[in-house]
Amino acid sequence: YVFGDSNSYGVWLEKMEFKDGTGAGVSLGNYVVIYNVNVHDYTSSSGILIGSKSHALWCRSFNNGADGFNISFGSTIQYCVASENDGDGFDFISNRSHLKGSVAHQNGAYGVKFAGGECSITDCILDGNTTAGCKHDDNNELFVSERNIFTNQTGAGTGLFSDAPKLCFDNNSHYYNNGTDATSGVIQSGKTTGDPLYIDLANDDFRLQAGSPCVHDSYGSFFAVDPVLSKGAAAHPGNIMHPVVLG
């Protein structure tokens, strides 16, 4: 399904499902917004292709033949899920893009890949991806990772991989059971480790149990979460049911 081309503007796509095709699931132009859109089982291409300076919220792309999301310059993806795609979960192909509060789970290459600089990934869960949880692929530009949870990247998979580790800053993130946590030289502060205590990983429930080391709880209750210090998409009450429960 193609909604405009690279020169189109202002498309709004909401509350739709696209499934079981051979081309791209949804291909959009620039300055678009997609909200609560599910795309899955497109066997030979990516699920969701988004042009420049666009936004995706509460969307899910899974079991597609290439990337879950393919995203152009200056775009923001928030509260989305990319799972079990043959390629990358989220593939940001240019500069100044941002991923927030999202989940990349069991994708065939990278959970998230940033090909450009001046990008960031914040409050995300990256679990069980084949090559790495997240890759910073620009040799000359700043990249920031903050309050993410990197778990179970398969084989020798790396949690956070950077081609320019001296320009890659990772603050207050959590690591568990990866082949390697992060590329040598990545500038890290506030790193924690150990089982994050997902409620039910076997059934793709990434909410966090009480007592999780990823939850900073100043008030003695799991739901009284400090939004600054807690880590991962599951840590924030506004995001507690979706997308962190993938089933």
pLDDT digits (tens, 9 = 90+) for 182-230: 999 999 999 999 999 988 888 888 888 878 888 764 433 333 344 445 6
Confidence of residue 116 (pLDDT cuts 50, 70, 90): confident
**Per-residue model confidence (pLDDT) at position 141:** 81
* Other beta carbons less than 10 A from residue 194's beta carbon: 12
**Per-residue model confidence (pLDDT) at position 243:** 38
**Per-residue model confidence (pLDDT) at position 8:** 55
**Per-residue model confidence (pLDDT) at position 130:** 94
Q: What is the mean pLDDT of the segment spanning 124-152?
A: 91
For 88, 92, 126, 149, 179, the CA distances from 113, given in Å and listed in that order, are: 7, 6, 12, 16, 18
- Average pLDDT over all residues of the chain: 84
Q: What is the mean pLDDT of the segment spanning 81-110?
A: 95
Q: Which neighbouring-strand residues pair with 188?
A: 170
Which among 13-27, 94-108, 206-220 has the top mean pLDDT?
94-108
pLDDT at 172 over 60: yes
